[in-house]
């Protein structure tokens, strides 16, 4: 079996509302799908993390740099291919876009291997540790609106995410210490006392500002405080973790086993959030997961993007061993974007319908059962939304 082509599809549509996080507002949603074709007609799908123009730069890496390296190779040799590409790109980027590009290709190869073996990806990974996965809903994005309105909206949105059946919810931070504490207080009021909520700063604080917000989150009994400081600031992470009761979460901006080794050894993470579509794909995710567990750090994957990314993460979460295990073990969760996302809800011929699964089961979703990722993207949908 041989790889005959590696193609990127960059999709885009205008969101019904402007959304934002601590770094920027955005008006469009982008998705970057990777399609790997073989001489035997088996096709694999993957996804690269990276919004907007980053997706276009990653497409150039996928098609212009990685494709010529691997065309003609046997796609079943996914680990050989991973190392061949990484070794050749090492001098030009051990983190960031080269790894995001490689991630989408690697995921597509796992899809191919599963289809050839007639096994779902979770089975290739060793089997399901859980039949169903808890799902948390993130929403409460920043918007260009007055703070008073935002506070009221956060309170209502938090309650509606809880009422939709999600097991927990996550809000954005990013207005500055004083207003962020008001937003977090509104979210606690919205969900009530017996419900988990998390807060995501997208690395907008200094350590001292993060401490001030973190103390408020402690008072509000938040479950985790995500990316409080810059991802490079391992000392800041460690200080916050030793000072706060709330779990410190992060890692979505870290790449490959070597980046993760350093991050974990700095002991600043209470919860690790590896992003499979960025850190190097499923092959590298498995190594990062082993490193996290070797450091006894629980993992809740970062999930962003289309139905391809969501399906990939459902397989990974189903196949993740409990840490440390037991009769009532600590469980990971699927991260789910409750804002408008056509690329998740409209891309597949048979949608994952996470929202419906949650409603029916009280907060759970299952990994797809078909071979590979167990999904079939709709080519008409892709053609309609492709910008490049």
- Name the minimum Å distance from CB 170 to Mg ion: 8
Q: Which CB, 61 or 271, lies closer to Mg ion?
A: 271
Q: Which CB, 3 or 263, lies closer to Mg ion?
A: 263
Note the residue count of the chain: 388
Q: Report the distance separating Cα 269 and Cα 252, nearest Å.
A: 12
- Name the minimum Å distance from CB 148 to Mg ion: 25
Catalytic residues: 302
Q: Which CB, 114 or 305, lies closer to Mg ion?
A: 305
- Give the SS3 label for residue 44: strand
Quick one: angle between helices 78-89 and 281-294, nearest 10? 90
- Interface size with Mg ion, residues (CB under 5 A): 2
Q: In 47-124, which residue ranges form alpha helices assigned H by DSSP?
A: 53-61, 67-70, 78-89, 97-117, 121-124
- Name the minimum Å distance from CB 56 to Mg ion: 23
- Give the SS3 label for residue 150: helix
Residue nearest Mg ion (C-beta atom) = 200
- Name the minimum Å distance from CB 228 to Mg ion: 11
Q: Report the distance separating Cα 285 and Cα 88, nearest Å.
A: 20
For CA atoms 193, 198, 204, 206, the dihedral sign is positive
Q: Report the distance separating Cα 17 and Cα 378, nearest Å.
A: 25
Q: Which CB, 106 or 252, lies closer to Mg ion?
A: 252
DSSP state of 199: E
Q: Report the distance separating Cα 139 and Cα 197, nearest Å.
A: 11
CA atoms within 13 A on the CB side of 306: 32
Q: Report the distance separating Cα 312 and Cα 316, nearest Å.
A: 6
Choices 51-59, 113-121, 200-208, 283-291 (CB under 5 A): range interacting with Mg ion: 200-208
Q: Does 335 bind Mg ion (CB under 5 A)?
A: no
Q: Which CB, 252 or 284, lies closer to Mg ion?
A: 252
Q: Which CB, 106 or 200, lies closer to Mg ion?
A: 200
Instruction: Name which of residues 136 to 165 contact Mg ion (CB under 5 A).
Output: none
Choices 49-57, 188-196, 198-206, 257-265 (CB under 5 A): range interacting with Mg ion: 198-206
Choices 103-111, 114-122, 170-178, 220-228 (CB under 5 A): range interacting with Mg ion: 220-228
- Name the minimum Å distance from CB 47 to Mg ion: 17
Q: Work out which of 106, 157, 180, 200 binds Mg ion, going by CB under 5 A.
A: 200
Q: Report the distance separating Cα 371 and Cα 334, nearest Å.
A: 21
Instruction: Name which of residues 225 to 244 contact Mg ion (CB under 5 A).
Output: 226
Choices 78-86, 199-207, 239-247, 282-290 (CB under 5 A): range interacting with Mg ion: 199-207
C-alpha Rg value of the chain to the nearest Å: 20
- Name the minimum Å distance from CB 226 to Mg ion: 5
Interface ranges with Mg ion (CB under 5 A)? 200, 226
């Amino acid at each position: 079996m041989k790889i005959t082509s590696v193609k990127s599809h960059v999709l885009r549509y205008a969101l019904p509302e402007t959304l934002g996080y601590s770094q920027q507002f955005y008006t469009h949603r982008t998705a970057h799908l990777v399609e790997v074709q073989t001489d035997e007609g088996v096709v694999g799908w993957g996804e690269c993390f990276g919004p907007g123009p980053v997706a276009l730069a990653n497409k150039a890496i996928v098609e212009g740099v990685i494709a010529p390296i691997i065309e003609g190779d046997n796609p079943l040799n996914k680990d050989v291919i991973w190392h061949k590409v990484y070794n050749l790109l090492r001098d030009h980027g051990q983190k960031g876009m080269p790894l995001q590009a490689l991630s989408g290709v690697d995921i597509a190869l796992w899809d191919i291997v599963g289809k050839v073996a007639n096994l779902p990806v979770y089975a290739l990974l060793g089997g399901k540790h859980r039949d169903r996965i808890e799902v948390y809903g993130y929403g409460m994005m920043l918007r260009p609106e007055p703070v008073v309105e935002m506070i009221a909206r956060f309170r209502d949105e938090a309650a509606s995410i809880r009422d939709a059946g999600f097991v927990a919810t996550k809000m954005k931070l990013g207005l500055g210490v004083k207003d962020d504490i008001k937003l977090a207080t509104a979210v606690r009021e919205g969900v009530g006392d017996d419900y988990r909520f998390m807060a995501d700063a997208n690395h907008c604080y200094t350590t001292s500002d993060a401490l001030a917000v973190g103390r408020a989150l402690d008072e509000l009994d938040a479950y985790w405080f995500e990316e409080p400081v810059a991802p490079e600031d391992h000392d800041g992470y460690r200080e916050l973790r030793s000072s706060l009761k709330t779990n410190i979460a992060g890692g979505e901006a870290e790449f490959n086993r070597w980046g993760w080794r350093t991050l974990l050894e700095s002991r600043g993470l209470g919860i690790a959030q590896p992003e499979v579509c960025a850190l190097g794909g499923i092959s590298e995710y498995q190594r990062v997961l082993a490193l996290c567990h070797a450091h006894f750090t629980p993992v809740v994957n970062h999930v962003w993007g289309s139905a391809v990314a969501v399906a990939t993460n459902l397989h990974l979460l189903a196949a993740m061993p409990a840490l440390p295990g037991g009769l009532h073990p600590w469980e990971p969760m699927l991260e789910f974007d409750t804002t408008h996302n056509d690329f998740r809800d409209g891309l597949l011929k048979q949608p994952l319908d996470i929202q419906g699964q949650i409603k029916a089961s009280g907060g759970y979703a299952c990994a797809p059962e078909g071979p590979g990722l167990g999904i079939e993207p709709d080519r008409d949908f892709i053609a309609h939304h492709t910008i490049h």
